[in-house]
Structure 1
Amino acid sequence: MKNNFFRIAGITFMLSLSLFVLTCCSFGSQKEQSSKITLNFFNQKPEISTQYQKLARLYHAKHPNVNIQITTSGQGGGAAALQAKFASGEAPDIIMLGGLPEIDRYKEHLINLKNLQASKNIIPALVSGGLSNNRMVGIPVDLEAYGWSYNKAVFAKAGIDVSKITNYSEFLKAVQKLNAEKKQLGLEAVFGFNGGDTNSIASVSAQFTSLPYNNNLVKAFKSTTFSWKYEKQMKQYYDLIKKYNVQPILSVKYDPSVQDLFFNGKVAMIPQGNWIIPTLDGLEKGYVQKNLGMLPFFVKNSGSARILTGSSWYLGITNDHPHREKAAKDFINWMYTSKQAQNVIINEMRFVPATKNFDVSRLPDDLSKEIYRIGTSKKAQAPIHKQYPNGFTNQALGPYMQRYFVNRISWSNLKKEVSAKYRQLREIQSGE
């Protein structure tokens, strides 16, 4: 009996011990599983989706408990796709936002990033584009330049000295010379503007609507009227595009304008910025260094004209998932401060960094270096088109300018319609 008692007691003890060990293992496994985090990152720039995926993999390799899921939607559909995410209760952790109107739309969902390490090194001129009620809720993605991208080889063949183009009159002479010699130069037309893209129409308009606000993004965002102060110059440039562009102008799309017309020297200029750099160097290594230059728009018709520089996109962190906020902050800090991430950003995305005191010699081409110098100078001038009311570019400015290009609306009627729609959208969105 006694032996049986000890035998049963021993078996009971072993079973209890096994159960305890299994419970501990299960608890440990659950704890390890619960410590794994998946961050949802909503990206509105399809052209850099692959590079963001690479950054996510590199970060995961160093932080195995953090997975980063990249969702990309852009080319006009990004804003609607992001709204759908929030409406369905699936708010991302990190979101890319375009301009103060979009930041204002999600301001209740965005946390203050002022004390983030990444925020402390942002180029001061870019900070205002990420503010909401004096809170820094967005960090600029990069430094972009807006102007005329020109083909150096075409200009050289035409015998045009770019350094002498210091005002609108000289720019017009160059355009007329290129047009007169287009057969010898192998040009289809002087310009390859993608008139079918409303966003490109808006970025050109910024050349004339930014100066009235002294390039102040917040003032432009609060404005209830569309500025026509530089209407004469705006009309001159749009008329020039209309006259000397590849036709039919509304059939010209963004990708062909860059990858075929400009790259192959079929046009001399397109009004685009440094975001075309990765595409061009992807088609031919070293093309940008050899062939790509930029000219400003001469709005005041003086030699003081500068290429506009700013940031179209800002990254924010939402407050919808508090237990993932720290992981989101750590990832953004890594993107903006680690050399490994910066190497991908400047050499593969071909971004000009939005951070001050950056070693400009690390940038892979002379144009990017020049953009950084301009964008970090005290005389830097920012474009304000991202501060137009939500929907204004696609519903009003773009469509009416497209009608103007094909002579289906007069300039005076265009002004009237654009002004009315701007005022209406601003009033609705400001809640007044």
Structure 2
Amino acid sequence: MFKSKKVLTLAIVMVLALSLVVTGCSNDAKDEEANSGNEKATTEKSGEKAEIDIFQFKVEIAKELEEAAKAYEEENPNVKINIQTVGGGDDYGAALKAAFQSGSEPDIFNVGGPQDIKDWMDKLEDLSDQPWVDKALEGVLSGATVDDKVYALPFNLEGYGFVYNTEIFKAAGIDAEKIVDFKSLEEAVKTLDKKIKDGELEEEFPLLESVFEFPAKETWITGLHTSNVALGQEFDSSIEAFNAEEVEFKYGDSLKKIIDLQADYSMHRDDKQKLNAVDYTTQAEEGIAIERVAIIQQGNWVYGLVEGVDEEVAEKLDILPIPLEGGKEDSIPVGVPMHWVVNKDSDDAVKDAAKDFLNWLYTSEKGKEYVVNEFHFIPPLTGYEDLEVGDPLGRAVSRYAEAGKTTPWVFMGYPTAWGMEGLGNNIQKYLSGEFTWEQVISESQAQWKEMR
């Protein structure tokens, strides 16, 4: 069960791992002209319909979120919810900006941490008076709080590392509990690679062809998540990263080893530029989910995708640390991945309905069932003590958190677009041979200063 003791432990972890409070930006006045001709209905109380447009990034819960919305509509027949999902291999941030620029502004959308809050402040409704605020675990609202006002509801708590197939490891004679640093991980990878090449695992795992699948096309994976393993030990929090004028890359050489290990033991080890065409689907649904690869760098959110392909494989998964040589090598990054926000310029009746839906989703008994059992989220609020975090990846994240083996998510404090369009693209150039690693570091440092 997801006991209250676990909630407390996660709360303590989040106090240390998450960012503090962003200093404020003021809201601009409502743009009346942009909202002229808005035919969304007024209020539930008046009997007229309220129509909510949601623009969200989490592809892993797209179907389940639709189902939750239908359940809410059944209880609230005067409300209609439209959901558009953009994520995975697509750039959610760019798509969101395009939606606003086109005049099709969503009523509920997603933002990250301090940098996103600053960038979108002119559109954010103050949610400080919402019922869920008092239920938030300590620390989880810090990245969305400005001048003591809360502007966003955290999605959940997430953690990521090297997601691996426990049965493949057992068949190869590898004891995952002995993988506690980069050296022991490298040794395990070499052992597994040899057994795959020698055909020793072919009978039990006929599709297994490489240790890793490394999706360098997805710069959110490389430029944000992989880099955070290193920068999450250079900066103490997303706020510190947000306030930093420069990035040192204190653990730059260790970051290179993490990238090289995945590239060197992938299917494209002999032509690494091909890694730049490998996407999230290839890595997850067409990789670890069919047991074509043994390890991928991902988080507990990938469980639902794998389960959708093969439930038995999904139950075999667990998480290894991404060991940063010279830093913490036995930990995983844990944090709040994204937030729900309400567009302050939406019609008042629509805003009321949007707030009510979010509150229903995270605090009603039916909504909480979706959050835990369908979304496979680790809840960011109290009140879930009787609900079990049922999937093995969610339990793995909880296990690391309870042991205090976590590092913060600081990529929410990177300069806008730096992680994906700067560092992520530079890593692609490294894999294609266009850049040396030294050029990756120097170019990324210069881009940080410029984009900051």
Q: TM-score, normalised by structure 1?
A: 0.85
Over 3 Å counting, the alpha-carbon distance change for 1:380 and 1:131 in structure 2 is: farther
Is 1:225 paired with 2:251?
Answer: no
- Is contact 1:140–1:313 with CA below 8 Å preserved after alignment? yes
The structural deviation recorded for 1:117 is: 1.4
The structural deviation recorded for 1:59 is: 0.8
Q: Provide structure 2 residue ranges, at least 5 long, that are not aligned to the other structure.
A: 1-42, 203-207, 269-273
CA distance in 2, matches of 1:102, 1:139: 14
- Is contact 1:125–1:376 with CA below 8 Å preserved after alignment? no
Deviates more, 1:383-392 or 1:165-174: 383-392
- Is contact 2:372–2:387 with CA below 8 Å preserved after alignment? no
The structural deviation recorded for 1:127 is: 1.8
Partner of 1:51: 64
Over 3 Å counting, the alpha-carbon distance change for 1:32 and 1:170 in structure 2 is: closer
- Choose from 288, 295, 299 the match for 1:273: 299
Corresponding residue pairs, total: 396
Partner of 1:299: 324
- Choose from 61, 68, 83 the match for 2:74: 61
Is 1:185 paired with 2:198?
Answer: no
CA distance in 2, matches of 1:97, 1:342: 22
The structural deviation recorded for 1:121 is: 2.0
- Is contact 2:362–2:371 with CA below 8 Å preserved after alignment? no
The structural deviation recorded for 1:361 is: 5.4
- Is contact 1:396–1:421 with CA below 8 Å preserved after alignment? yes
Higher relative CO (Cα under 8 Å, sequence separation at least 6) belongs to: 2
- Is contact 2:289–2:310 with CA below 8 Å preserved after alignment? no
Larger Rg computed on CA atoms: 1
CA distance in 2, matches of 1:217, 1:133: 17
The structural deviation recorded for 1:346 is: 2.1
- Choose from 214, 233, 236 the match for 1:211: 233
Residue identity over aligned pairs, in percent, reads 28
- Choose from 148, 152, 161 the match for 2:166: 152
Query: Secondary structure at 1:67's aligned position in 2?
Result: strand
C-alpha offsets along residues 295-348 of structure 1, whole Å, 9 cap, x if unaligned?
112225578722211122100112102333222221111111012112222222
Q: Provide structure 1 residue ranges, at least 5 long, that are not aligned to the other structure.
A: 1-29, 427-432
Query: Secondary structure at 1:124's aligned position in 2?
Result: coil
CA distance in 1, matches of 2:262, 2:71: 44
The structural deviation recorded for 1:228 is: 0.5
CA distance in 2, matches of 1:138, 1:76: 23
Query: Secondary structure at 1:82's aligned position in 2?
Result: helix
Partner of 1:78: 92
Partner of 1:251: 277
The structural deviation recorded for 1:39 is: 1.6
Partner of 2:121: 107
Is 1:320 paired with 2:345?
Answer: yes
Pairwise CA RMSD: 2.4
Letter in 1 for 2:363: T
Query: Secondary structure at 2:77's aligned position in 1?
Result: coil
Equivalences for 1:20-419 in 2 at 5 Å?
35-74=48-87, 75-183=89-197, 184-186=200-202, 187-202=208-223, 203-214=225-236, 216-247=237-268, 248-289=274-315, 291-300=316-325, 305-321=330-346, 322-356=348-382, 358-359=384-385, 362-375=388-401, 380-419=406-445
The structural deviation recorded for 1:161 is: 0.6
Letter in 2 for 1:392: W
The structural deviation recorded for 1:206 is: 0.6
- Is contact 2:182–2:329 with CA below 8 Å preserved after alignment? no
Query: Secondary structure at 1:106's aligned position in 2?
Result: helix
Query: Secondary structure at 2:306's aligned position in 1?
Result: helix
CA distance in 2, matches of 1:146, 1:306: 10
Letter in 1 for 2:408: A
